[in-house]
Structure 1
Amino acid sequence: MHDFLKKILSRKEQEPTLISFDSIPEWLDARRESVLSTLESETTIPVQNIRNAAAQLQHIVNSIAGAEHDPKIHPKLKSIAKNSLPLFVRAMNASLAKELPDEINEFYSAAVECVKGCLNSTRGQGRYLQVVFPDEMKSVRTGIDAMGREINGLTDSLGRYRKEFDREKIVMELYDAVRDLKADYAKSAEKEQRIIGRITEITDRLTKIGNETSLLCSDEQMKEISGLRSALAAKERERDDMVRSYAALSMTASHVFRKAEKIAVRQKHPPEVSALRHAMELLSDHAMPDPQELTALLTAACPVAERMIGSGEIVLKNKEEHSIFSDTSRFCQEMIMMCRELRAREDSCTAACESLTVHPVLIRVNSLERERHQLESRLSKEKQSLKELEDWRLKSGEKIPVLVEELRIKIREIAGENVQLQVNCQGSA
């Protein structure tokens, strides 16, 4: 006894089975083959028994179809049997004629349907034949029971197989998830370096643009550009002052012309209405009018307004209106002079602006400024992409070990506790 206990206690513990991550598909394939082999060995005899029972049932049904009933039975039972027998035989033949495939899952489904059909036939038309063919119907029930018992055995075997298959499927899904996530994690490191490289490139270029812009702004030619800008600003102020003066005179004159137009409409003087309207339209137009056209229209409209002012039909309200219509000749000359001067000043502003636009230093500064805006937009997008990628890598780095541990647990559930899974959580699989 002492030697026996010593032998047991000194026995080395069985070494654990090591499974590498890459070998999981191969390991699962081997297990599946083993499970299928076990399933085949467990189901071979039940399958054959079911086939034999189905054949025996078919033989019994054939014998019932050609059997003669006892002549001593009651005539009513004879009539029932005569009507029910063909229906019963037809239903049983339909159920038994269904093919029983070789593949075990398909065989099981077909066998279950066959038994269900036979039971329904026996409980339906078959129940009327119990008295007429007692022995034959007893044999039918015995055959169906035999098939049912064998199907119950298949149910247990297939249940174990499907449970094992479901476990293996979960393991394979976890394996695929870990493999894909690890591959994406490895690729993300390369992507991260590419983004960092682009950020560095853009930042370096922005630094060069800033340096070049500073040099250009300190260049002697920038003083010339500054002078051109100041001259342009002065020309634009003078032009705008004259535009405001022209607009003020135009609005004042148009206000009086509008009163005159209403009076001319009431008095039904179409030529005067037309002259006044054309003058107002030209004065209110945002575009600077042609001096000759302006001269013609004012020459036609002013006398009409003067006549109505003189007759008391129009009452001037303020000094501006009095200033204009006290001497319309002077007003017309002033408006025409301002029109020509505004055209000249607009041309001068345009020429000064073009001189600035084509200056080589300013062209270069503007080009650098456009490039800077584009690069800053790209830089913002690249930084956002880098942040999103870093967040993804952080979450994935935390998720991979969790999935690996879940994979270990599922493999242990299949193979037992004495199994170790070898996998590098951060490296490529």
Structure 2
Amino acid sequence: MAGFLSKIFSKKEPESEVIEYFSLPEIFAEAEREAGESIRRAAMSAAGNAGDSLESIKKSLDILEKADFSDDAHPNKKLLNVARNSKPKFIDSMRRAIGAGISDDPDKVYDSMISFVNEAAKIMRSKGRYLGAVFPEEMKAVKSGIDSVGKLINKMTEDVKIPVDMKEKSGISKGKYNFIEDKYGQIRRYKEKISESADNISELRREISDIESVMEGLKNSAEFSEEADLIGRLETLEMKFSAAENYYEALIASTGNVFRKSSYQFSRDNNKEMAGRVDNLIDILSKKNDKCRLMGEAVELYISVYPSLASVFDANPDVIKNKTEEELFSSPGVFPEKLKSCCNELKLSLDEIAAVKKEGEGYSSGRELDKLSVKFEMNTEEITKLEEETESLKFRIEEAENEIPELMKELELSLNEWRKSPVELKF
């Protein structure tokens, strides 16, 4: 066999062959082209010869079709009748099988020859089963034509064995090469991503530097100093309000226990009117969203029921449990005075808070600092994320680079499976 294949499968003493890694695509293409050409030539040769065989079978069928026999051509009369009936069916079936023909596509020649031989053999076994006894020479000629196609199949199998083997083995090597190229492609993409991330990190750090400069300028401004004073005042007022609110809750909790016990006692004494008024007082004082709004109504109601409460306290000493409750109900004016004082404190604190907030609306440095702080944090988080991704990509690059030498060895071994000489892969 001439050309590339003859070089590869030459019986001369092998010499070491150095192959550059970058030249492999060209070597694979040449191997595939040469193998394909050899397979094509073998297929076309087989197809041509098979066509001749089919023509020969056609002529044999024509002769068989014209052949006839007398009633004494064979001692078995039943066999003669079967042969007379099956001959036209046999000839029609064989002509249809021949009509399917041998493909002119090199990739389909082999399969089409096998398909014909299988179909023809099936017809010989079925419709032609009894014809050989009556038409021995004619059927022998038909069988000879079929056998010739079978021999062509065997010859083509032998002719394409070397190029098919080389094509398969070179294909395996090409697959290993492509796998390595994919690894290199991954590494390139990872490095490009790392470079892109490095650019993004640099840009984010420049932004952070600019943000820090602006924030420093704002913190050193007179406006920020004034706003900081306002914020300090606001925090003090809010703490003051919170303390007053807590005192209010404690006050209501302390009196609420006594009011509920007193309401219960009024109900037991069948004084439903007084029980209802005390319950109403409890309801007014417990309106959490309306602290002190109904203070005047609560004080007025408390003063009106206090004499009745005092009589309950005298008759039921256990209604008041501790010194705090004892002090609050020691006289009609103690609880109202504390309630007024607490509510006034709450109202004053709310008014002062509102005034400071109103004053703060004229300052923008704090809001600007808040925006810059958010941007600062976002950039910092993004840098951390990019750095983590970069480390992950570096690990993947190292992992891929460590795999390549072993993959190269596997490729080199694969090349040795079909190259003429021992291969030394250089890369």
Give your verdict on TM over 0.5. Answer: yes
Query: Hey, what does 1:9 align to over in structure 2?
Result: none
Hey, what's the Cα distance between the residues in 2 that align with 1:70 and 1:273?
Answer: 137
| Matched ranges for 1:8-407 at <5 A | 19-72=19-72, 73=74, 74-186=76-188, 188-203=190-205, 206=208, 228=230, 231-258=233-260, 279-289=281-291, 291=293, 293-296=294-297, 299-300=300-301, 307=308, 310=311, 316-319=319-322, 320-325=324-329, 327=331, 330-332=334-336, 334-352=338-356, 362-363=366-367, 365-407=369-411
Identity among equivalent positions (%) equals 20
Hey, what's the Cα distance between the residues in 2 that align with 1:40 and 1:231?
Answer: 96
Task: In structure 1, give the amino acid aligned to 2:101.
Answer: E
CA pair 115-308 structure 1, distance change in 2 beyond 3 A: farther
How does the TM-score come out when normalised to structure 2? 0.76
Tell me by how many angstroms 1:109 deviates.
0.9
Indicate conservation of the 8 Å contact 1:20/1:421, yes or no. yes
Task: In structure 1, give the amino acid aligned to 2:49.
Answer: N
Structure 1: runs of 5 or more not aligned: 1-12, 424-429
Task: In structure 2, give the amino acid aligned to 1:384.
Answer: E
Hey, what's the Cα distance between the residues in 2 that align with 1:314 and 1:122?
Answer: 126
Tell me by how many angstroms 1:401 deviates.
3.5
Tell me by how many angstroms 1:62 deviates.
4.5
Tell me by how many angstroms 1:324 deviates.
4.4
Tell me by how many angstroms 1:342 deviates.
0.7
Hey, what's the Cα distance between the residues in 2 that align with 1:61 and 1:265?
Answer: 126
Tell me by how many angstroms 1:159 deviates.
3.9
Indicate conservation of the 8 Å contact 2:241/2:350, yes or no. yes
Hey, what's the Cα distance between the residues in 2 that align with 1:154 and 1:281?
Answer: 107
Q: Quick check: 134-143 or 314-323, which moved more? A: 314-323
Tell me by how many angstroms 1:214 deviates.
7.0
Tell me by how many angstroms 1:410 deviates.
3.2
Tell me by how many angstroms 1:260 deviates.
6.2
Task: In structure 2, give the amino acid aligned to 1:177.
Answer: F
CA pair 356-162 structure 1, distance change in 2 beyond 3 A: farther
CA pair 268-124 structure 1, distance change in 2 beyond 3 A: farther
Hey, what's the Cα distance between the residues in 1 that align with 2:275 and 2:63?
Answer: 121
Indicate conservation of the 8 Å contact 2:50/2:149, yes or no. yes
Tell me by how many angstroms 1:71 deviates.
1.1
CA pair 344-30 structure 1, distance change in 2 beyond 3 A: same
Hey, what's the Cα distance between the residues in 1 that align with 2:271 and 2:126?
Answer: 111
Hey, what's the Cα distance between the residues in 2 that align with 1:306 and 1:69?
Answer: 147
Task: In structure 1, give the amino acid aligned to 2:319.
Answer: L
Indicate conservation of the 8 Å contact 2:15/2:421, yes or no. no
Tell me by how many angstroms 1:413 deviates.
3.2
The size of the alignment, in residue pairs, is 410
Task: In structure 2, give the amino acid aligned to 1:155.
Answer: T
Structure 2: runs of 5 or more not aligned: 1-12
Hey, what's the Cα distance between the residues in 2 that align with 1:301 and 1:318?
Answer: 20
Tell me by how many angstroms 1:94 deviates.
3.5
Tell me by how many angstroms 1:377 deviates.
0.5
How does the TM-score come out when normalised to structure 1? 0.76
Hey, what's the Cα distance between the residues in 1 that align with 2:270 and 2:116?
Answer: 108
Hey, what's the Cα distance between the residues in 2 that align with 1:33 and 1:39?
Answer: 10
Task: In structure 2, give the amino acid aligned to 1:295.
Answer: G
Tell me by how many angstroms 1:236 deviates.
3.1
Tell me by how many angstroms 1:310 deviates.
3.6
Q: Is the partner of 2:129 in helix, strand or coil? A: helix
Q: Quick check: 338-347 or 214-223, which moved more? A: 214-223
Tell me by how many angstroms 1:220 deviates.
8.4
Q: Quick check: 163-172 or 145-154, which moved more? A: 163-172
Deviations 1:184-208 (A, max 9, x none): 5345445434433443454566567
Task: In structure 1, give the amino acid aligned to 2:114.
Answer: V
Hey, what's the Cα distance between the residues in 1 that align with 2:414 and 2:176?
Answer: 9
Query: Hey, what does 1:3 align to over in structure 2?
Result: none
Q: Is the partner of 2:159 in helix, strand or coil? A: helix
Tell me by how many angstroms 1:118 deviates.
1.3
Indicate conservation of the 8 Å contact 1:70/1:132, yes or no. no
CA pair 289-386 structure 1, distance change in 2 beyond 3 A: same
Task: In structure 1, give the amino acid aligned to 2:384.
Answer: S
Indicate conservation of the 8 Å contact 1:275/1:297, yes or no. no
Tell me by how many angstroms 1:345 deviates.
0.7
Indicate conservation of the 8 Å contact 2:54/2:98, yes or no. yes
